[in-house]
Structure 1
């Protein structure tokens, strides 16, 4: 006689392996869902904001939210908010972080002009109209940030104590402090932004990177800042920042200097300044300094075009109350410095490059063009241990006290294509062609053309390329005009 379980068609002994397999598969599947959505335990979602929407709605395309702040409170890892055209009179303070591979993104909808206007907002000191504090994996893209204040350290976009943050393709205008400020953070990208009327008239710099490691500041357009009473340098990596790159930016028409690396009172190191244009600033084009005695170390300045600045093209200087701050391993190669220094002011001064820090060890100045700078081309006011100055083109040696030519100099007109229009590429027959030293020369030039193109490395920021590639270089020049 068959037992009752068999009559019902169920064998508990035989079925156990299948149940175990099914249970294991289901558990693995559910675990993968949880892992893919953590933190926040939700699927990545795209939300929408429009001035005509309502914050009590679901934030869908059909029923968008009205404020970006609503999105900032809700978004979790992997989420995106697309913001419709309009003016938003609010500050943006993200409540949550993203995760590796799952950024939280705040972006303007395609083709939309999105203005975040702080004219009616009194920000707390040391904050910004967009304020990302102690967060990670967040991207802000395509917004126009205006009228951030009223305190001296109110920025347009301020990142503090955060990591893996991308600030891309935004425009800031009329900010009392920085247009974009980054403090005590890591793995930061500031790319393709326009910063205008920053530091009006507050502290810090137009783009400030302070105490931050692993940063990239590239492709930004920084110009026409405030009066500069308390701050206003163009781009500043300072105060213990390290392992960063400042590249491909156009910095011009500022009341202070253009690009600054200042150790302040902390070890600041591993910074590259490459392929930037700096012009028409009412101070130095590029300055390497340590205002309060921190060690400045391992800085590379290469492929920059620095012209028509009021003081020096490049300065290596204490620039503060500490008379001899420590600096070492500074490399200045393949730059073009033209027409720096101003003779029209009551106390005219300025020139190509000046070195006046007596506590400097290991300085290389090689393959640079110094052309028509006012009082000098290369001025070495102090002895330097481990100094190498060689293979530079000197156009206009003035014989000023402590001005030097260096070893293996090339002299004469560099034959720029059109210096009056800011085109410092070389014409055929330039004495700079093939006359540089290969050692320490960057692998490519200002236009990302590989070196060398001829029998040797060219002197200056631009490698001469004839024919078809010259036409390409001209197109690149036009594209780089802002």
Structure 2
């Protein structure tokens, strides 16, 4: 009898535990379904906030009510109500399965601005947070260099006596999005995603993280920041990372697909009393050498990839006193406008790889730097307008042939040696515009992947790799004269009927356009031909005279169809053909 009673008690206890677990799961699900809405026309009061037609008035009011899984949708309008810390201060955490998300209401473009607080958005000791779709508009237009310098002088004069007016200092040191512990003894943030934001014209740092882990900063537009601060800020800064776990295999901090430009430091740094930083992107001291042992060196991996950085005052991208950083497929153009830092490099760093980057230097400025590094590897990069201090075995110096760098268009023309000539080692599988990578035979160098599916399209490496010499193989060569663009072309010597072809798999169902630039002395019958799955789909004929002519064929193909492009010429005594820049897009 006693045994039966004991078993009954155990059964009852087990059922209670199961019921409690189910109740907990139900509560988690309820929290995950909670959405809050915010508009400047709303009200911060009971009965508001959970319907788009009756929103809260401030983002902070919504933030103070969030639980794991909640989403705060922010509607059109300008949000500037603040204390001296931030327009939005995030202190409540989500969890591994239920982030708390702050984002723009669909189709809306909310703006945060302040002329007096230290931050626009401050994530203070919170984790599992997503921030998406905001315009962070700083006050630079209403500030002057003399105001920034006045605060620099005020700090130096008053800091030793503890009489700094911090509200006065905040005016020229406001940050955009700042992630950090609330204090040196507080919980450290982790698992923070900052994406699809525009952060501009803030006098302090654009996007900055400190003593944090698992940070993803992606698809942001970050410009005109750090001008008047006294703290050596940059556009994007990942500073003093900390180990929240023992993961050393996967990327934990990721900075990718950001456009970062015209960030610069015009005021001296109070620590050194000299000008410093103003970089596009910096991975800063993850060895934690500046913390007097308070944090162990960071052992996680950091990825910086597919970013475009230009016209920044310091570097485009660099690793400073950091380890285990991969800097891959970025495009850096004419940075170092204020300080001669260089384009992309590592300094005092360990175990850093810099592959597939394009670095176009500002005239008279460094491209790379090489100081106090250990196991820092450069390879498959392109340099232009200067001589790198350090380079790798497959690095080259060549004009990348940007579409229009002055207008911020850093795609490369066909004929660029960036195309199809990167390494697949550590290369991302998508580019800055989220196009698949590689498109041709190998990944391109730089942030953009050419959308031409033809491999080795302009023969810039002096070979016919990827091409089939179907007829008159001896009469088909690569030469380095008379090109349409770049340094090489294919030449036909038509002592016999001649045919050069390449077959590729269609990546998508769509209408394609095939193009080739052809010059010849043969009167007629030089053809650009297209076949899909062995069926002829179009031909254009080119005749002699007038230099290079553009041959074009438009056709349709389904995903995974075989597209074959060929150029043919008839046997012609004394005949020749020049071919360059073949594309199918």
TM class by smaller structure: 0.5 to 0.7
Aligned 8 A contact 2:77 2:110 in 1? yes
Residues 137-166 of structure 1: CA distance to partner in whole angstroms, max 9, x if unpaired?
A: 321112735343635xx1111112121100
After TM superposition, the structure 1 = structure 2 runs for residues 307-386 of structure 1, keeping only pairs within 5 Å, are 307-309=333-335, 310=337, 311=340, 312-317=342-347, 325=348, 327-338=349-360, 340-342=361-363, 349-355=364-370, 357=371, 359-372=372-385, 376-380=386-390
| CA-CA distance at 1:306 after TM superposition | 0.8
1:138 maps to 100
Report the Cα distance in structure 1 between the residues aligned to 2:314 and 2:443, rounded to whole angstroms. Answer: 31
1:150 equivalent in alignment to 2:116: yes
Report the Cα distance in structure 2 between the residues aligned to 1:63 and 1:459, rounded to whole angstroms. Answer: 49
Give the paired residue count.
366
Residues 226-263 of structure 1: CA distance to partner in whole angstroms, max 9, x if unpaired?
A: 52342431000111257210001111122221001111
Question: In structure 1, the residue corresponding to 2:389 is in which secondary structure?
Answer: strand
| CA-CA distance at 1:425 after TM superposition | 3.6
1:12 maps to none
1:34 maps to 23
Decide which of 193, 200, 217 is 1:196's aligned counterpart: 200
Change (3 A) 1:459 1:195: closer
1:235 maps to 236
1:252 equivalent in alignment to 2:252: no
Aligned 8 A contact 1:393 1:414 in 2? no
1:277 maps to 308
| CA-CA distance at 1:206 after TM superposition | 0.9
1:107 equivalent in alignment to 2:133: no
Aligned 8 A contact 1:47 1:64 in 2? no
Residues 32-88 of structure 1: CA distance to partner in whole angstroms, max 9, x if unpaired?
A: 66223436988954455553547244556498365337853xxxxxxxxxxxxxxxx
| CA-CA distance at 1:360 after TM superposition | 1.5
Aligned 8 A contact 2:36 2:71 in 1? no
Change (3 A) 1:60 1:95: closer
Report the Cα distance in structure 1 between the residues aligned to 2:50 and 2:67, rounded to whole angstroms. Answer: 21
Change (3 A) 1:241 1:370: farther
TM-score by length of 1: 0.65
Unaligned runs of 5+ in 1: 1-22, 73-92, 291-295, 318-324, 343-348, 381-387, 396-412, 473-482
| CA-CA distance at 1:427 after TM superposition | 3.5
Aligned 8 A contact 1:303 1:446 in 2? no
Report the Cα distance in structure 2 between the residues aligned to 1:64 and 1:139, rounded to whole angstroms. Answer: 20
Aligned 8 A contact 1:178 1:206 in 2? yes
1:165 equivalent in alignment to 2:113: no
1:390 equivalent in alignment to 2:393: yes
Question: In structure 2, the residue corresponding to 1:389 is in which secondary structure?
Answer: coil
Runs of 4+ in 1 over 6 A off after TM superposition: 23-30, 39-43, 467-472
Aligned 8 A contact 2:48 2:56 in 1? no
* Deviation larger for 460-469 or 232-241: 460-469
Change (3 A) 1:254 1:458: closer
1:8 maps to none
After TM superposition, the structure 1 = structure 2 runs for residues 455-474 of structure 1, keeping only pairs within 5 Å, are 455-466=441-452
Aligned 8 A contact 1:197 1:224 in 2? yes
Report the Cα distance in structure 2 between the residues aligned to 1:436 and 1:148, rounded to whole angstroms. Answer: 44
Report the Cα distance in structure 2 between the residues aligned to 1:63 and 1:466, rounded to whole angstroms. Answer: 47
Change (3 A) 1:471 1:420: farther
RMSD of aligned alpha carbons? 3.8
1:207 maps to 207
| CA-CA distance at 1:96 after TM superposition | 4.7
1:302 equivalent in alignment to 2:307: no
| CA-CA distance at 1:117 after TM superposition | 1.0
TM-score by length of 2: 0.55
Report the Cα distance in structure 2 between the residues aligned to 1:452 and 1:54, rounded to whole angstroms. Answer: 51
Higher CA-based Rg? 2
Report the Cα distance in structure 1 between the residues aligned to 2:32 and 2:17, rounded to whole angstroms. Answer: 18
Report the Cα distance in structure 2 between the residues aligned to 1:59 and 1:440, rounded to whole angstroms. Answer: 45
Change (3 A) 1:138 1:465: closer
Decide which of 409, 413, 431 is 1:427's aligned counterpart: 413
| CA-CA distance at 1:26 after TM superposition | 10
| CA-CA distance at 1:129 after TM superposition | 1.6
Unaligned runs of 5+ in 2: 1-11, 140-172, 181-187, 244-251, 265-277, 454-505, 514-585
Question: In structure 2, the residue corresponding to 1:159 is in which secondary structure?
Answer: strand
